[in-house]
Each structure stands twice: as C-alpha cells, then as structure tokens.
C-alpha cells in the first residue's frame, strides 16, 4: 500500500511539473483531487479501515493530498507569473494617446451669464450683494414706494405665506424682485454704494417667456451728484461688454416705476441677419430692462437725506439676457432639466468669463 502511494505521488508530481498551461494543470488537479480523482479515492478508503490501519495509512494519504495541493498551487503561481511576464513583454500602453472622452456635465447658461455679468460690473467697480429669498412686505414693497393698491401686491401676482407667519405685522412672501437687497444695503451700509444684486425671484406667472421662478439682476448706485447721464453710460458700457459689440445703440423711453423718478425703459437696437434678430445697429428696437433715478421716498425710507444723496437703479432678467445672446426661444426649457438641452446650450466648466478673453468665450 505504501509503495502504491509513493508511486502515485511520484506520477502526480511529474504530471504537475510537466503541465505547461493553466488548463493542463487544472486537468491534473481534477484527475487527482476531483470527485473521481485518484487521491480522493484513497481518502474514501479510510472509512473502511480498521483503527490500526487508519492510524498507519491516514497520515500517509493525507500527506499525499497536501503534497499534491501544494504542488498544484506552486505550479499555478509559476504559470500565472510566466503569463504575466509574457503579456508585459508583448503588450504596452501608448501614454501619448489622448484619453478617452468621459461623460461630463455643463455649466447652465444662467450660471454662465451670472458670471459674465459679475465680471463686467466688477470691472466698473460694482460689488455683488446677496439677500434672502423669503422677504417681508416692508422690504419688498413698502420701502420701495409701492402703494397698497399696486397690482404687484395682489395675491394673483405674488406668492404670500400664511398670515400666521407674519413678522412684526408685516406679511412674509417670496421676493418678487431683488430690490429688497438694495433696501437692506442702503439701511446697513454708509454711501457711496455701488452694487449689483443677482438672484432668484418669484412671481405667479407661467408661459413661454415667463416662469414662476426666474433670475434677475439689479444694480444700484448711491452717491452725491448722480444724474441720468451716469445711468445711461453705465447701461451702454454694460450692454456693449455683454453682447460683445461696439455698435450697440440704446433708446431711453419715459416710463413709470414706483421706486424711481424719472423712470425709463431701455430699448436696444437690433439688425436682421439671415432672418434673425441680432443685437447691434438700429433696424428695430427691443426692450431689455427698466431703470431710473432712485425715488426720494425710497432714499428717505432707508434713512438717507435725498438732498445730499442721489442714485440710479436698473433691473433686468438674467434668463432673458441669456435667451437674447445665445439664441434660446423658450424660457421653460431653462428649468426642465433636460440633459440634451444642457449639452447643447451649456458651457464647459473651464469657460470662465473674462473681459480680456471675451465674457462669452
């Protein structure tokens, strides 16, 4: 019996040594340790042995199994190492090839335009001011000289919170413009003041050119000796830089806003190119923003003397500016979250607006 086991061990170790592929080695493993394998057959005979035979033969048979198992593991490691060395010698990666294109997001046009506007106004000395989106009635309406009977205060135009959420007798609401940022700046900061106030605003309106939530940017200048000429120069400089055209022409039309006096609507000239309106020239006119000299009552409400301090303010929709510059025709698509639209109109994360490189580059 011992002679037969020694012979079997010699044969199996020779078969392991001669295996030159992983498949051939696996065949040797099955022939030895599989269910019908020679070593497995010897292990099964131990059940029929007497205690004395099991004490004598058991260690020999178990030693055979352990030797074969160790031999198989060593040979497998050697074959895998040889295969790896072969692949390393025959295969290589050209590190000079461009990396494969990976899916990536884009910067939303609204975010891009916000950055463009901040860059333009920063060059003119304006700071960016931000404020709360849940406002009280006084900062959103009363301080801006908007009377109780004004349509903007109506429930069908403004999102009000329940009466029990009122603070100090003032109703709470979702701000309808970023003008409350101007009020809070004037009541907390000594003039001169030169700020822009971008952000989300809310109105009860929804169609192709209006959404219940949209983005607005307003500007405010408070200083001594400010007049309408300063306002026109600021808007003209801003629009030329934003649309990246020197032939931008403005037309100021008398208008009415409760918080400015005089008030003007600002139209920008456009030309028809291949059937499309392009900003620049004066073939036609398009209204782009509202503006005016800050009303005396607004300055007084903020604790300033209107005989000493004057100023101008202006406001426009960021979404509308994006539509005009980048050729979008439906405001609702801005908020649909359609990845196809974002891939088409979005901007690369590295397209940071700069005046030297072009704000829309």
Q: Which residues are annotated as a binding site?
A: 261
**Dihedral angle of Cα 17, 19, 21, 25, to the nearest 10 degrees:** -90
CB atoms under 10 Å from CB of 184, counted, come to 19
Host H or E run for residue 311: strand 310-317
Query: Distance from CA of residue 348 to its chain's centroid?
Result: 11
- In this structure, are residues 124 and 234 in contact, taking their beta carbons and an 8 Å threshold? yes
Compute CA distances 208 → 36, 320, 329, 331, 332, whole Å.
Answer: 77, 11, 8, 6, 6
User: In the beta sheet, which residues pair with residue 134?
Assistant: 174
Compute CA distances 134 → 89, 97, 160, 175, whole Å.
Answer: 67, 53, 10, 6
Distance CA(189)–CA(165), nearest Å, equals 28
Report the 3 state secondary structure along 185-235. HHHHCCCCEEEEEEEEEECCCCECCECCEEEEEEEEEEECCCCHHHHHHHH
**Closest Cα partner for 261 from 292, 219, 300, 218?**
292
Binding residues for Mg(2+): 261
- In this structure, are residues 128 and 199 in contact, taking their beta carbons and an 8 Å threshold? no
Residue matched to tokens 């010699």? 10
Instruction: Report the first-to-last Cα separation within the chain, whole angstroms.
Output: 88
Axis crossing angle, helix 38-45 with helix 51-90, rounded to the nearest 10: 160
List, as one string, the DSSP characters of 31-71.
HHHSTT-HHHHHHHHGGGS-HHHHHHHHHHHHHHHHHHHHH
Residue matched to tokens 């629009």? 239
Distance CA(254)–CA(293), nearest Å, equals 12
């Amino acid at each position: 019996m011992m002679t037969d086991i020694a012979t079997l061990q010699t044969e199996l170790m020779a078969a392991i040594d001669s295996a030159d592929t992983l498949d051939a080695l696996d065949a040797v493993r099955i022939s030895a340790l599989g269910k019908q394998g020679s070593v497995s057959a010897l292990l099964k005979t131990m059940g029929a042995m007497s205690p004395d035979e099991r004490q004598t033969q058991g260690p020999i048979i178990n030693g055979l199994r352990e030797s074969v198992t160790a031999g198989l593991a060593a040979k497998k490691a050697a074959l895998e190492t040889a295969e790896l060395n072969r692949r390393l010698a025959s295969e290589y990666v050209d590190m000079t090839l461009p990396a494969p294109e990976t899916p990536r997001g884009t910067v939303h046009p609204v975010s891009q335009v916000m950055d463009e506007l901040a860059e333009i106004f920063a060059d003119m000395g304006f700071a960016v001011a931000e404020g709360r989106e849940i406002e009280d009635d006084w900062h959103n309406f009363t301080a801006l000289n908007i009377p109780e009977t004004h349509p903007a205060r109506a429930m069908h135009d403004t999102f009000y919170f329940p009466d029990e959420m009122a603070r100090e007798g003032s109703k709470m609401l979702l701000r309808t413009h970023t003008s409350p940022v101007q009020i809070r700046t004037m009541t907390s900061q000594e003039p001169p003041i030169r700020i822009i106030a971008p952000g989300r605003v809310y109105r009860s309106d929804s169609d192709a050119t209006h959404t219940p939530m949209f983005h607005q940017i307003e500007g405010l200048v408070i200083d001594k000796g400010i007049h309408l000429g300063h306002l026109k120069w600021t808007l003209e400089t801003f629009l030329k830089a934003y649309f990246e055209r020197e032939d931008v022409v403005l037309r100021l039309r008398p208008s009415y806003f409760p918080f400015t006096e005089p008030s003007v609507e600002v139209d920008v000239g456009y030309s028809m190119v291949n059937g499309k309106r392009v900003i620049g020239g004066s073939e036609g006119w398009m209204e782009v923003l509202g503006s005016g000299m800050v009303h005396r009552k607004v300055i007084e409400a903020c604790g300033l003397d209107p005989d000493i301090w004057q100023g101008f303010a202006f406001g426009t929709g960021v979404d509308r500016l994006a539509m005009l510059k980048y050729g979008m025709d439906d405001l609702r698509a801005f908020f649909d979250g359609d990845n196809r639209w974002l891939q088409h109109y979005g901007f690369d994360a590295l397209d940071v607006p700069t005046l030297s490189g072009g704000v829309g580059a």
